[in-house]
Structure 1
Amino acid sequence: MGCEHARAAGGQTSPSQFEENTLSEVKRVIAVLSGKGGVGKSFVTGAIATELARHGHKVGVLDADITGPSIPKMFGMSGRHVHALGNLMLPEISEHGVKVMSSN
């Protein structure tokens, strides 16, 4: 939620809480999460990402799954899923153009 949405809802915000990354080109974030395992979060994430990419949107998935790299497996990837280039971390790109960063 952006600062303007938090203020409109009566929430308190601090400048450091919502500092903008000037290198970022991210326009929207969709979070898929649950407090329970085995409910299909990775499946839903992969399906949403694939459909958005099929409709011409630029899509990236940041996977921080403590039980294993299910997102890279779903996209048919093997090996490292985060690549370093100097101070930058670069994603692996799936066959359908979905950018994937996965940390286990």
Structure 2
Amino acid sequence: MAVAIILMGVFQGKVSAQLNPAAAQYYVNQYIANPAFAGAARGTTFNGTYRALWTSIPGAPVSQNLTAEYGFEKVGIGLSLFNEKSGLLGQTRVVATYAYHLPLS
């Protein structure tokens, strides 16, 4: 037990408990996690996600994300609208991206 306490003291670090909606929903829309995916699929793509956690608890986190992306030749452009509310804190972001896809082979 004493060894565990000493190791915790030696290897201490910062711990954060915030939500990361991009990491939680990357399998639905890879553009949320990495803007370089803008236009990876040719043509126009629209996606929307909604996530509500712990719905029976007042002030539970809720997030919405709308994305649009368009890919042609080696270029992709994208637009992301993100809204998150958790308790008294809220955040809204609008992000535009540009990606150039360079084939490596």
TM-score of the superposed pair, with normalisation by structure 1: 0.29
Q: Which has the higher helix share?
A: 1
* Larger radius of gyration between Structure 1 and Structure 2: 2
